[in-house]
Amino acid sequence: MSEKWRGVVAALLNPDLRAALGELSADVRLTDARRARALQRLTELGLAETNAAGAVGFTDAALRALLAEDVPVRPTGPERFLDADGKIDRYPMKAPERRALLVWIVERAFSPGEMLSESALNERLSAYTSDVAVLRRYLVDHDLVERTRSGSQYARVTAE
């Protein structure tokens, strides 16, 4: 989701822009029942409140609260394919994105020159997925990890 909503919320805080918006919709005629429902909904949303005299008016508290919220930054790059626990929630469909995700994992799971047994590799990969066999296969198939001839150990492939 883009950050455009912040501009919309900020615009609604500006009394001149709210008035202009009201003028743009001046051709809309509300029945008393529709007006009451609209005011009730605006009150529920925190955009309107009833004062001591019983008049309903605009309040900006809900809009200011929205703008003050810490909005989580949406991950980019390979991290966008991970869930909140840092595990792969889906593999990218596009080959370059899939490779980038796999490289990202290899860089974190292996040190250059390190040899790991299959069980040690599985333990490390379990930090990134519940299906370590699939991830291990992808790493080998993408030439990021290689197996020894015996198949008992794995090493990170170093770029030449």
- pLDDT of 1 strictly over 60: no
Place of tokens 């770029």: 159
β partners of residue 145? 156
86-102 residue pLDDT tens: 999 999 999 999 999 99
CA dihedral (143, 144, 150, 151) positive or negative: negative
pTM for the model stands at 0.56
The pLDDT confidence band at residue 128, using thresholds 50, 70 and 90, is: very high
Kindly write down the DSSP assignment for every residue of the chain, as one continuous string: --THHHHHHHHHH-HHHHHHHHHHTTT----HHHHHHHHHHHHHTTSEEE-TTS-EEE--HHHHHHHHS-PPPPP-GGGGGB-TTS-BS---SSHHHHHHHHHHHHHHH--TT-EEEHHHHHHHHTTT-S-HHHHHHHHHHTTSEEE-TTSSEEEEPPP-
Asked: is 77-156 a CATH 1.20.58 domain? The reply is no
Domain boundaries, the chain: 4-68, 77-156
pLDDT value of position 2: 58
- pLDDT of 125 strictly over 90: yes
pLDDT value of position 160: 57
